[in-house]
Amino acid sequence: MLIMVALVTLNVSAQPKHENRPERPHKSDAFLKDLTPEELADLKTKRMTIDLDLNASQQKQIRAIVLEEATFKQKQREEHSAKKGKGDNEKPSKEERLALMHEKLDREIAMKQQMKTILSEDQYKKWEVISERNSKRKRTRKHKERRSN
């Protein structure tokens, strides 16, 4: 009996721990990076149509908003990769970071206001819940990436 307990203990301790396993990139990340802003806007609009039961008019308005946001984000990614390609690894100053945060928050406020005018009250509440859940998921994934690096 004592030998069996020792063998089981040895076997369990020899198993690799999940914490030490390298983080794999999220499956959809690689796929989404290859899409154009128009394709991303179409996908996101369809997802929102399913989740929020949007009518045709709402779909058209939301697609325009999502397309603008996707175009903006693609432009930011291109600028960031161009900076990285030059070897400019210098971090932005405190003032630059503050300006970027203000710009990001202003865009979020504008998005909320636009969504509030397009969606019904029930749809808007659902959209807020979905948006919050997605942002939490995104923050968790970024936190895990930072910890593993």
Do residues 92 and 78 make contact, with C-beta atoms less than 8 angstroms apart? no
Rounded to whole angstroms, the Cα distance separating 20 from 23 reads: 9
pLDDT of residue 78: 87
- Find the domain containing 47 and state its range: 35-85+107-123
Residue 115 lies in a domain: yes
Residue 25 lies in a domain: no
pLDDT tens digits along 70-126: 999 899 888 888 877 776 667 878 898 899 999 999 999 999 999 999 999 999 999
Rounded to whole angstroms, the Cα distance separating 123 from 25 reads: 32
On whether the pTM is more than 0.75, the answer is no
- At residue 120, what are phi and psi to the nearest 5 degrees? -75, 170
Structurally, how many domains does the chain consist of?
Answer: 1
Residue 53 lies in a domain: yes
